Structure 1
């Protein structure tokens, strides 16, 4: 199973989907985690032979959001999907050899001096999602963590 994750600046325009799906096919991926996709609402889109599942803000504001793109074979193996927030999306797959849980995230920025952030709450919720994954499943954590090193 070929799994990747990309931070996408925006998917507001249809040509962005064309580029994304073209690259998905070119790299012959099974699953692509997409973070910071800026499409409001929650839903599924068929893009030819692949499917785009996404979760985002319900107020139609083009901020935050996560999703994943899966090919036909991965879609057949998918047995559960849960968008827990605008920043976390989890799905489960059963393959011939093992079970997989994939969690796609878009983490909030860490606060600077004196600023308030929801990052602590985000990481607590993320840990809860990881703990809820079935014990026999391999867990893949994909996404954009807004991390700064150095």
Structure 2
């Protein structure tokens, strides 16, 4: 199996504020972008998809962490190329603002966090909760081998 996390392999990762993937035909946009630019991983934010899970779109895989109340607002995720999907070990959806994936490598594994910071209209409590969740996630990743 060809691994994406390798010492002599270039891994291309980017982020993309998609503003919504909830409209008809929008889910195909990131898949087209990942193929067009030959990226391995894209972290979309503001997906507006109330979904938590994994789905296949064309030759890419979409890993999502959205709201669990059915409201089409916020949401983050990862779009993985076919090659990146082969190395996917686990997904950790935390909230509609935070998700992590873990990729397998031959000598070490790689964790990637996609976080979309709540805007300034949010309360101090919501902002503190966000940062607390990020710190907890980082702490849990650092303890893994």
Q: If the TM-score is normalised by the length of the shorter chain, which range does it land in?
A: 0.7 to 0.9
Task: Verify: 1:37 aligned to 2:37, yes or no.
Answer: no
In the alignment, what sits opposite 1:28? 38
Secondary structure at 1:89 match in 2: strand
CA distance in 1, matches of 2:84, 2:52: 20
Q: TM-score, normalised to structure 2's length?
A: 0.83
In the alignment, what sits opposite 1:133? 141
In the alignment, what sits opposite 1:64? 74
Secondary structure at 2:32 match in 1: helix
State the Cα distance separating 1:14 from its structure 2 match.
3.2
Q: TM-score, normalised to structure 1's length?
A: 0.81
State the Cα distance separating 1:27 from its structure 2 match.
0.9
| Greater strand proportion | 1
Quick one: structure 1 residues 26 and 43, their matched pair in 2 at CA, closer, same or farther if it must change by over 3 Å? same
CA distance in 2, matches of 1:135, 1:116: 29
Gaps of at least 5 residues in structure 2 are 1-10
Gaps of at least 5 residues in structure 1 are 138-150
RMSD after superposition? 2.0
Deviates more, 1:128-137 or 1:58-67: 128-137
In the alignment, what sits opposite 2:3? none
Confirm or deny: 8 A CA contact 1:33 1:67 kept in the other structure.
yes
How many residues of Structure 1 are paired with residues of Structure 2 in the alignment?
Answer: 135
CA distance in 2, matches of 1:70, 1:6: 13
